[in-house]
A and B are shown apart, each in its own frame.
Chain A
């Protein structure tokens, strides 16, 4: 006990607070701006936010649904944060998730005769490889051809979306699916176990939490350190003899692999088949969650939870209060801009 209280006394509360309160303030300001938009258009912002809150936390079922949504957000944010801290502005999480989902579903459908204990790790690896290959394209093009990764990853997102549409309307289309654009269901023995009876919360959530710990360890490892040096200054990194190009490729592979893993979780934990809408909006959410969490694993747990609540609540708000879900997208954009400008805003206030 004394050891723990000793530990707690050593936590630099003031430093943490200094990190947290600009983020919290940005979130609140963004919600206020969103509310003002509703007010100007003649809607009742209080009612809208009330239905959002009850949609996200109103019952234990709503709450577990928020945790379900939080799972891919958290994994994708960790994925994006590793790129961002290396100075690689990978916005391709959406496409990488799709490729991970496609690869793992394909393995599950093709090798459905294998036992679940073999198929689950196998599909997991397939998902990681699918996502990693997709981001690896952008990584190689960035490292060896100086191609702007924002453009390449954004283009790869569009290509992935069309590839998915092609697959679920063509080669992977469910023959017994009444012509719906979706693949066949994976064998039910491959479905990830649920954590709570009657909810959709499943093992993928635990995987996400394990990844948080893994991310903390990553930043303490040599590779993590190398990632940050390359991110801080390519010139310095070259000067001290680091292989900058290879680091860029490696980091994009790790990022994409994680995003692919998120795709695996969505398939085996939630949808059990490929559907076209599997990744809609996930790319920008990943960026926002990562930035609001200050690219820190623990920070991103908090921001992933907040954004899962916003998304789950936002859907409920659209249904019950008739306020468009796009309000959540606006809040995302405002938060990014506020988070970025925070040091200017706070400096201006101080002087």
Chain B
């Protein structure tokens, strides 16, 4: 192991990479917070991220406009959220299995559409990603500057999304309504609010953000699409939500932990430490289990979590 490589710039590199790697997880986790706060468990995040990645790729590839890619990715995510909403709110099916179905459907459909569009090629189609946006002055600060202020626009927007989500959840009427339908849907119903509508809205917000997370992988990070490219990030995002206690600020913390784990794993490989790369690749998944276990025992899920709402007399 080459210890000379561990310098200040190396550590700065790892921290900056942690933020970049945390971004797609954070997007999906924020979305799932909205969904779960409204009382719906959407385990389809993985499939929705894959669909977001594919549609983001296609949108940007065909229009040569990255922002259209982002919009298409979010729209596709919202539509898949709508599908999850139909399964859980209207059809009142088992949400775990519905989520699995959506994950299997989304991962199959994204692969199929990609193959039908581009066929098998020796060089996969690629596109230029969002450029790095150095924030003037701030990026000059030694240490902090390159870690925090040398990213692409999607990273900054996601970081801003954290306080925005908190404000929305805790300080707006709609946020209150979302939290209320997850805790006590009958009370919301008696106040004359439409429980189903609020839940549909929440699960669609969740889908749109998962779709954004998927399209970030393509448009903000890799410039390519491949089968199963999310590699479990959808499930990791759900674990982050449990860790976050359904709070956006804590989700940021959770996402950074996983970002750091992934960044460490990658840099240990480049340092050629005497550990097989396959074992290093396990690290994020092992950490997910450890974190999930450490928080789950005392986790207080929303009271009406994963319970369909029947109005009086229905059923």
Contacts and interface: CB of A to CB of B under 8 A. Distances in A.
Contacts of B101: 333, 336-337, 340
Interface in A3-23: none
Interface in B47-105: 47, 83, 86-87, 90-94, 96-105
A163 interface: yes
B109 A147 contact: no
Contacts of B98: 336-337, 340
Contact of B112 (A145, A165, A287, A330): A330
Contacts of B273: none
A159 B282 CA distance: 5
User: Taking chain A's interface residues, is the majority helix, strand, or loop, or is none over half, making it mixed?
Assistant: helix
Contacts of A333: 47, 101-109
Given A145-B297, A158-B231, A326-B115, A341 B91 contact: yes
Contacts of A345: 91
B289 A344 contact: no
A91 interface: yes
Given A284-B104, A333-B101, A333-B106, A341 B87 contact: yes
Given A145-B297, A155-B239, A331-B108, 18 more contacts: A145-B293, A145-B296, A146-B296, A147-B296, A151-B239, A154-B235, A155-B236, A156-B289, A158-B282, A158-B285, A162-B285, A284-B100, A327-B112, A329-B104, A329-B107, A330-B108, A333-B101, A337-B83
B285 A159 contact: yes
Interface string A297-331: 00000000000000000000000000010111111
A226 interface: no
Contacts of B296: 145-148
9 contacts: A147-B293, A148-B296, A150-B96, A151-B235, A151-B239, A169-B278, A330-B112, A336-B104, A337-B105
Shortest beta-carbon contacts, A-B, top 7: A333-B105, A329-B108, A336-B101, A344-B91, A166-B278, A326-B112, A324-B115
B174 interface: no
A292 to B, nearest CB: 12
Contacts of B106: 333
Contact of A150 (B47, B100, B102, B276): B100
B229 interface: no
Contacts of B282: 158-159, 162-163
A169 B104 contact: no
A146 B299 contact: yes
A291 B96 CA distance: 13
B104 A141 contact: no
Given A148-B242, A287-B100, A340 B87 contact: yes
A41 interface: yes
B17 interface: no
Interface string A113-157: 000000000000000000000000000010001111011101110
Contact of A344 (B93, B111, B242): B93
A334 interface: yes
B235 A330 contact: no
A279 to B, nearest CB: 14
A58 interface: no
Interface of A: 37-38, 41, 43, 89, 91, 141, 145-148, 150-152, 154-156, 158-159, 162-163, 165-166, 169-170, 284, 287-288, 291, 324, 326-334, 336-337, 340-341, 343-345
Given A155-B285, A333-B109, A141 B293 contact: yes
A332 B239 CA distance: 25
Nearest to A318: B115
A43 B119 CA distance: 12
Interface string B132-165: 0000000000000000000000000000000000
Contacts of A324: 111-112, 115-116
Nearest to A168: B278
Q: Which of B112, B227, B281, B299 neighbours the largest number of chain A CB atoms within 10 Å of its CB?
A: B112
B232 interface: yes
B232 A155 contact: yes
B315 to A, nearest CB: 10
A39 to B, nearest CB: 11
Contacts of A341: 86-87, 91, 93
Contact of A151 (B86, B94, B281, B288): B288
A154 B286 CA distance: 11
B105 A155 contact: no
B100 A89 contact: yes
A149 to B, nearest CB: 9
Nearest to B97: A340
A147 B289 contact: yes
Given A147-B296, A156-B289, A340-B91, A91 B278 contact: no
Contacts of B14: none
A332 B98 CA distance: 12
B235 A170 contact: no
Contacts of A91: 100
A344 B94 contact: no
Contact of A163 (B96, B117, B278): B278
B19 interface: no
B292 interface: yes
Interface in B265-315: 276, 278-279, 281-282, 285-286, 288-289, 292-293, 296-297, 299
A134 to B, nearest CB: 12
A162 B43 contact: no
Contacts of B104: 284, 287-288, 329, 332-333, 336
A343 B288 CA distance: 36
Nearest to B96: A89
Nearest to B90: A344
Q: Which of B238, B278, B297 neighbours the largest number of chain A CB atoms within 10 Å of its CB?
A: B278
Contacts of A154: 232, 235
Contacts of B90: 344
